[in-house]
Structure formats: C-alpha cells, structure tokens
Amino acid sequence: MQFKNLSESPHFATLAKTKPVDLHEVLDHQRIAGSTICVGGGLAYNWAAMPIDATHLELFQKLADDMELVEKYQALLAGETMNTGEKRLVLHHLTRGRVLGEDTTVFADGEEKGAFYQEQSARIAKFAKDVRFGQLVGSTGKPFSTVVQIGIGGSDLGPRALYLALKGWAAGAKIDHMEARFISNVDPDDADDVFEGLDFETTLFILVTKSGTTQETLTNYELVRKAMHAAEIEGFDPSRHMVAVTSKTSPLANSSDFLEAFYIDDYIGGRYSSTSAVGAVVLSLAFGPSAFKRFLDGAHQADLAALEPQVTKNAAMLDALIGVYLRNVLGMPFTAILPYSQALSRFPAHLQQLDMESNGKQVNRDGKPIGYATGPIIFGEPGTNGQHSFYQLLHQGTDIVPLQFIGFKNSQRGKDIETEGSTSQTKLLANLIAQIVAFALGKEHESPNKRFPGNRCSSVIFGEMLTPEALGALLAHYENKVMFQGFAWNINSFDQEGVQLGKVLAGKVLAGAKDDEQLTAYMKLLS
C-alpha cells in the first residue's frame, strides 16, 4: 500500500480535464432510476443530479484503485496507525459491536480492542436497563427521569443531534423515553439555562471527557456540583447522580465522585465517538439499550457497504469522490446538508464538526504542505425551513453550492393531518422532490430576476423512516465519506492540531498575558 498526494495520481490529472455534464441534457427518468446505491440501514444514495457521467465514474474508479481507498480503509480496520500525527490507531468502526472482516482483531495497550469496546458496551447496556427499570435510583430513592450530558465538541454535537433525531421515533414507537439535556459551552448561561425546571433528585449527569482535562467540561461539572449543593436537598449525594465517560488513564477514571465510569480510549476521536461510550450512555438511557443496538447495527451495515471496491456500488466512496471532483476540479468550497426531517435539525451541526475538523487540513499525512484544496465548509438547516431562508442564494446566488438532501417516506410520529388533499408528510416530500428538480433544471424566464440557471447539483439520501438503523447508517455513511476523502487528499483526518493554539493563548490570557502586546490590547478592549 502506497500513500501519495492526490496531485500525484495520473487519473486525477485526467479527471481535472473533464467537463461537468449539463444536467439539462442528461437528467431523465432512466438516469434518476438508475443512479441509486444502497447505503445500509434501509437507506439509499442517489447521485442522478450530480454533474457526472460514465466518463467520470470510470475515472473515479481508476482514482479509487490508484489511491487504494478501500485498501486504506481495510488497513485502518486492521489497526494500522492511520492517525499519523498523533501516532494512533483509528478504531471507531470497532465500536459498532460487529467485526467487519477476518483481519480486524486489533491489539493495543495489551488488550484486544474489540473485546474492550464490547465490554464497555455490555456494562452500559446493563447500567441503562437498571436505571430505566428503576432498579438503580437516585440518592433520595426516586427513579431517574432525566439525563444531562456534560461535554463539548464530539462529546456534545453528535450525541445531541442523535438524541434529537430519535426522540420523535421513540414517541411514535411508544418507547419510554428519558429526557436528555446537554451542557457544553463554558458560557455560564448555558448551564444555568439547562438547570431551569430540573429536579436534581431525579437527574443523572454524564460527565464526558476523554482526557479528563477539558476545561469547559470540568468547569461545567463544578457548576453542576454547586447547583446541586445550592438545592439543599436532604440526604442528597451528588456522587450517586453522576457517571463519567473517560479514558482509563484519566484522573476521573477511579474517582469516588462517580457512580460509575465507562471507558473510551485514544483510538476514538471525539467527532467519531457517537457509537462509543460517549453516545452509548446517554442514548441507551434515553431510548433503551436495544434501540442503541439497532443504531449500531445500522452503522455496521454502512461500514460493510463501504468495503465494496466498485465506486458505483459504494455510496460513501462515490459520495467522497464526487466531493473531490466538485472541490478540486470545479472549485466549489462548500457543501450544504439539507435534511427534510425536523428530527435532523442538529445533524448538520454534527457533520460540520465531523467534516471540517477532520479534513480542514493544509498538510498531508506526513506533515508536508499540499498544493490543493481540502475539506469544504459544511452548513445546513432542515427543509422546508431552509427554503424560506437561505435557498434564495442557493437558487440564484453567484456561487454554486453542492447540496446533499436527506429525506424519509414516513414521519416518525405519524400524527399528521390532510389539508387540501395531502398530508403534511406528503407536502414535505413534495417540496424535497421539487427542490432537487428546481436546482438541477432551473427555469427560463423573460425577466432575468425570475430566471433560474439550474445545474445546481445535488444528491439525496433517502429511506422509509428515520429509525435507529437508518440513523446509524446515515452517521456511518458520512464518517466513511469523510475518511475516503481524507485518503484521497492524503491527509490525516483523525487529528486536530488546529485547535491547540487557541487553547495555549487562552491560557496566556487567563495568566495575565503581560508579555503579549496583542492579547493585552484586546483584553483592555473586551474585558
């Protein structure tokens, strides 16, 4: 297996000379019907409205083979040190609870890592059952009804987005659901807002920090303890209302301040940790361990699908390569994520972290500067809301923004109404379909202000309903897409050195920053 920059592949040079296809010319019913790939979890990916044809697909295949994308994925699964900057293995696929192939028994830190993640998974499932069935109760004898996760970044965005994504599913499926809240920002107003109406006697907190040293999270932990103390509840014991998710080597690992500690390790990056204990505890408490197991199964199915060497059968890899074409050949520096599902309201924020933190890099995996663009800007809001907001620019602005639609045939809760001959869910889907075609084909008009140029490309991921399986597959699809793009760009998608300088300078400011002219000047201004 060989690592080389994208620009070193002769097939990229060929690809760079190809023109995008004109969607007005090619988008017919055959193409639409014939451009669907299975994602896993009951989802499918359709690329009919992307500006590519058989020529591009052939070059994508040559590029994928030449860059050994699937081989690199296999090497990652087999425990190669793919996080070169931090010299770490990359093992989030192992947290799905299923083995992906024969070569995926991975040893590190003196243990078999698959077994380690499974052990944590089993402990979490038992713990969640005990809490949900009232066998484990709060320190004043009351059952827990609310769970609050304290964490930031990957310990917040993914779990929060997934919780919101499944809340309506649980309501529709009549599954008992514990309310979950999240405290993340070091802004003290964040925690105080979460405390509103909170009953500490029936609340279980989850403190999530891999290193055990994240400043925001530890500060919010102290705010929680202060608020618990201020509540002056007789017989209340804070340590029986708090569990930790951390690494075994963290200062929090063996503390008597926690009811339980569940473990992760250095091979699970924060933004890839939703299927590990970081997501497992809060989601298993909220919806039950069996729902979480179904979520993992969906993720596993997408992981399996991503092993397929043919680009036309591998949704994550094709999505990745189309993205490379849009970014590096057509020069489009952004991608919008547009879920037609209110339950996915915060999913774009999770993908924003996943993608931008993974692939927003300026050096290759060996630390050498590269001469081409890497990860794009990711943003998005649910449709139809976005239609009444930023879609104006998407339709008629001076830049073309590639779009990724997501949609489901059925709503989660099923509480619908028919008005003017159609249900709300039917209207939602009608809007999704209309937008794909409107962006792709546009419309001529004698007044240029009412003219839609079209050729605004999109893909769509769709399924029957946003279930735990579908959500797991959706999450893993994007994780694998980001991974394949990282391989194509020959960058390390698993470190985040870009967040360090800010931390160092913030520490300087807190220490007075006497020797730093600029910090001092801004301190005078702002504080």
> Pick the catalytic residue: 4, 19, 226, 503?
503
Per-residue tokens: 265 = 């390790």
Per-residue tokens: 26 = 């090619």
Residues contacting 78, CB < 8 A, separation 6+: 103, 104, 106
Which position among 201, 381, 469, 479 is part of the footprint of its own copies (CB under 8 A)?
Answer: 381
Minimum separation from the CB atom of position 65 to its own copies (A): 26
- For 321, which DSSP code? H
Per CB under 8 A, does 436 bind its own copies?
Answer: yes
Q: How far apart are CA 115 and CA 124, in angstroms?
A: 14
> Pick the catalytic residue: 17, 29, 368, 388?
388
Considering beta carbons, is residue 94 or 354 the nearer one to its own copies? 354
Q: Is 503 a catalytic residue?
A: yes
Per CB under 8 A, does 254 bind its own copies?
Answer: no
- Of residues 54 through 113, those in contact with its own copies by CB under 8 A are 85
- The answer to whether residues 487 and 314 touch, using CB atoms and an 8 Å cutoff, is no
Per CB under 8 A, does 506 bind its own copies?
Answer: yes
Q: How far apart are CA 361 and CA 329, in angstroms?
A: 18
* Residue among 146, 123, 118 at smallest CA distance from 282: 146
Which position among 8, 28, 103, 237 is part of the footprint of its own copies (CB under 8 A)?
Answer: 28
> Pick the catalytic residue: 201, 357, 381, 479?
357
Q: How far apart are CA 43 and CA 170, in angstroms?
A: 19
Per CB under 8 A, does 309 bind its own copies?
Answer: no
Per CB under 8 A, does 190 bind its own copies?
Answer: yes
Per-residue tokens: 360 = 């927003």
- Of residues 320 through 349, those in contact with its own copies by CB under 8 A are 333-334, 340-343, 349
Binding residues with its own copies: total (CB under 8 A): 152
Considering beta carbons, is residue 19 or 24 the nearer one to its own copies? 24
Which position among 244, 320, 440, 483 is part of the footprint of its own copies (CB under 8 A)?
Answer: 440
Q: How far apart are CA 89 and CA 81, in angstroms?
A: 4
Which position among 87, 110, 417, 514 is part of the footprint of its own copies (CB under 8 A)?
Answer: 417
Minimum separation from the CB atom of position 275 to its own copies (A): 18
Considering beta carbons, is residue 70 or 513 the nearer one to its own copies? 513
Task: Identify the helix (H) or strand (E) that includes residue 159.
Answer: helix 157-172
Per CB under 8 A, does 188 bind its own copies?
Answer: yes
Provide the mask over 382-411, with x wherever binding to its own copies is found by CB under 8 A and - wherever it is not: xxxx-xxxxxxxxxxxxx-x-----x-x-x
Which position among 375, 468, 472, 486 is part of the footprint of its own copies (CB under 8 A)?
Answer: 375
Where would I find the H helices in 332-467? 347-359, 391-396, 424-441
Per-residue tokens: 162 = 């997934």
- For 143, which DSSP code? B
Q: Is 388 a catalytic residue?
A: yes
- Sheet of 36-40, strand order: 36-40, 43-46, 458-463, 403-408, 334-340, 377-379
Q: Which span (165-173, 260-268, 272-280, 469-477) binds its own copies, by CB under 8 A?
A: 165-173
Per CB under 8 A, does 218 bind its own copies?
Answer: yes
**3-state class (DSSP) for residue 245:** strand
Q: Which span (129-137, 252-260, 451-459, 467-475) binds its own copies, by CB under 8 A?
A: 451-459
Minimum separation from the CB atom of position 461 to its own copies (A): 11
Q: How far apart are CA 496 and CA 433, in angstroms?
A: 38
Where b means 16+ CB within 10 Å and e means fewer, 300-316 reads bbbbbbbbbeebbebbb
**3-state class (DSSP) for residue 126:** helix
Which position among 55, 213, 239, 424 is part of the footprint of its own copies (CB under 8 A)?
Answer: 424
Minimum separation from the CB atom of position 339 to its own copies (A): 10
Q: Is 93 a catalytic residue?
A: no
Residues forming the active site: 357, 388, 503
